Amino acid sequence: MNALEVRNVCYDYPDGTRALRGISFTLAEGERLGLIGPNGAGKSTLLWHLNGLLPDPLTQASSVTVFDLPMLPSHLPLIRARVGLLFQNPDDQLFCPTVADDVAFGPQQLGLSSTEIDARVKTSLSQVALPGFEPRHPHRLSHGEKHRVALAGLLAADARLLLLDEPSAGLDPRGRRELQSLLRSLPQAQIIATHDLELVVALCQRVLLLNQGQVVACGPTRDLLNDEPLMLANGLERPHCLRHPHPHD
């Protein structure tokens, strides 16, 4: 079973902006895919489609299938539990008075018992290296900690596909390193939309390059990111780590 099958997805915003023009790709279970492209390429719009945040993208010619479930209105509650979207700005995602309440929000929607919810909150906070943060106030945490609390909420809800929108933006070098090892340690399929191409090289087996709402290229990370003419033509640069590889890489 694939984690995701996307076929010919198109989307125009209500003001007429054409954001996605026939996007197709698949994602295997457990795979990490880098979603790259210049600003305005359609990366965030595509992520929002994949857990049904935008109006139904299905027409006769297009489809999104998540773990074998077609994106139909009747499947949306289940799809939204399986697919966790980590917002670019964690302040848009965290809204409860305590970390425990925020992380518990997803599992509560699944109707689990309070004992099970407490256990999930504890486990997922440990997974993101924030054990004991339950009573803390989310808005008094650092940017990196807020991101990890938001991620813990997705893990507590048992998301099997994680969509990460610019997860390393705003992190200091240590926070970025911690994020990288955290994402590597998670077994879930992941789509990482980012300008941080070093992160993509470190984590992603494959890359999908978007420009002007279209898939320009999709393939193995190093092949694609090493293609200097392709990168430059799409407003990107070959990442430093590929131009000057470390001898032990």
The least CB distance from residue 13 to ligand ADP, in Å, is 3
Among 1, 39, 115, 229, binds ligand ADP (CB under 6 A): 39
Q: In the structure encoding, which two tokens stand for residue 148, read together?
A: 């990890």
Burial category of 45 from C-beta neighbours within 10 Å (exposed 0-12, middle 13-18, buried 19 and up): buried
Among 7, 8, 40, 227, binds ligand ADP (CB under 6 A): 40
In order of 89, 145, 177, 179, 196, the CA distances from 171 in angstroms are 12, 10, 9, 9, 11
The least CB distance from residue 10 to ligand ADP, in Å, is 12
34 binds ligand ADP (CB under 6 A): no
Among 9, 31, 32, 44, binds ligand ADP (CB under 6 A): 44
Report whether 79 contacts 3 (CB < 8 A): no
Report whether 181 contacts 154 (CB < 8 A): no
d(CA 20, CA 213): 4
235 binds ligand ADP (CB under 6 A): no
95 binds ligand ADP (CB under 6 A): no
The least CB distance from residue 37 to ligand ADP, in Å, is 5
Among 3, 33, 45, 149, binds ligand ADP (CB under 6 A): 45
Among 9, 41, 156, 179, binds ligand ADP (CB under 6 A): 41
Residues near ligand ADP (CB under 6 A)? 13, 15, 17, 19, 37, 39-45
